[in-house]
Amino acid sequence: MPTIPPVTLNNGVEIPQIGLGVFLVPDAETKQAVSSALDVGYRHIDTAMIYENERAVGAAIAESDIPRDALFVTTKCWNSDQGYDEALAAFEASRDLLGLDYVDLYLIHWPVAAKDRYVDTWKAFEQLYADGRVRAIGVSNFQPPHLQRLLDETETVPAINQVELHPWLQQREVRAFDAQHGIVTEAWSPISRGEKLADPTLQQVAAKHSVTPAQVILRWHLDLGNVIIPKSVDKDRMAANLDLFTIRLDEDDHAKIGALDEGSRVGPDPDDMDG
Ligand SMILES: NC(=O)c1ccc[n+]([C@@H]2O[C@H](COP(=O)([O-])OP(=O)(O)OC[C@H]3O[C@@H](n4cnc5c(N)ncnc54)[C@H](OP(=O)(O)O)[C@@H]3O)[C@@H](O)[C@H]2O)c1
């Protein structure tokens, strides 16, 4: 079983660089998927209130004999739960569903700037952190102006910014801002939902290293220092997505993948998400 190297967050907490995402995994299949993932070596699971599968994630964890402190669980505060009191209540609901004493990482799912509640939401997150109910707090889908506002108006720099990020949306500006402020960048849809695995450039790099296009993309992320949370319900693909540690991409591979950036998204643009 591979050992997943950790990335150290700005408060000293370590997050395994690879986790399993469970977006769009139906509740009824999630327990099996998470159990399979734990079986093949995953120790980090990424869920959210809006995925409606937190209870099943918790059930798989409860059934496993892996010590709690060897696991890393992320969940997220949904847009309709933004606001100080609402976020505290939403956190307790998630914690209950997960059946955990504490959550490792709690994220604001989207800034929803039109509602203008993310600063108050973040203050609730600071309280959760101060209480020890979460080990780290972060954000998702935040653009530099949203991050800058948190830096200006609150006491805590987010530990993580989880954004859509893959070779076709390389997020150079967001990554540079994150890095400048000690915020770890985490990639969602890290393989672009598998939609472009037939890309000829990727196929060529994959053939050169005798690996799959998905593995090329995931290795590229690790080289950039991104935390990644590929989703799969298939145990073989889960294992393949962890089997990245003997792949060595060279400068030429990086130049080729770097040139795939076209700014195209598979999910919503954070500036259009208003509810
Ligand atoms: N913060 C946010 O707003 C946000 C938004 C979206 C997603 N996320 C998080 O990010 C996670 C990952 O993103 P995602 O689920 O959208 O997309 P993804 O991980 O880029 O791609 C998942 C898709 O690729 C397939 N796949 C997985 N491994 C593969 C492989 N080795 N070869 C070929 N196909 C493979 C999966 O199918 P199978 O399952 O059949 O293998 C699934 O259809 C989510 O699950 C969620 O936890 C966060």
Helices (H), the chain: 27-40, 54-63, 84-98, 118-130, 144-153, 172-180, 200-209, 213-224, 235-242, 251-258
Q: Which amino acid is at 171?
A: Q
Protein residue closest via CA to atom 7 of ligand 1: 188
Provide DSSP, 12-23.
S-EEESB-EE-T
Calpha distance 98→204 (Å, rounded): 42
Whose C-alpha lies nearest to ligand 1, atom 32?
214
Domains and CATH numbers, the chain: 6-195+221-233 (3.20.20.100)
230 close to 213: Cβ distance less than 8 angstroms: no
Provide the residue count of the chain: 275
Euclidean distance between CA atoms 162 and 273, whole angstroms = 15
**Active-site residue flag, 84:** no
Task: Report how far residue 150's alpha carbon sits from residue 153's, in angstroms, rounded to the nearest whole number.
Answer: 5
Residue list, ligand 1 pocket, CB within 6 Å: 21-23, 46, 109, 140-141, 162, 188-194, 197, 214, 229-234, 237, 240-241, 267
User: pTM to 2 decimals?
Assistant: 0.98
- Name beta bridge partners: 231: 21
Using the atom order of ligand 1, give the atom closest to the CA of residue 237: 31
Q: How many CA atoms lie within 13 A of 157 on its CB side?
A: 14
Centre a 10 Å sphere on the Cβ of residue 210 and count the other Cβ atoms it contains: 8
- Residue 254 is encoded by which pair of tokens? 């990086």
**Beta-carbon contacts of residue 47 (< 8 Å; ≥ 6 apart):** 22, 53, 54, 57, 73, 74, 75, 76, 98
Shortest-distance atom of ligand 1 to CA 22: 45
- For residues 100 and 79, give the distance between their C-alpha atoms in angstroms, rounded to a whole number: 22
pLDDT per residue of the chain (275 residues) written in tens, 0 to 9: 788 999 999 999 999 999 999 999 999 999 999 999 999 999 999 999 999 999 999 999 999 999 999 999 999 999 999 999 999 999 999 999 999 999 999 999 999 999 999 999 999 999 999 999 999 999 999 999 999 999 999 999 999 999 999 999 999 999 999 999 999 999 999 999 999 999 999 999 999 999 999 999 999 999 999 999 999 999 999 999 999 999 999 999 999 999 999 999 999 999 998 77
**Is-contact 221 187, C-beta < 8 A?**
yes
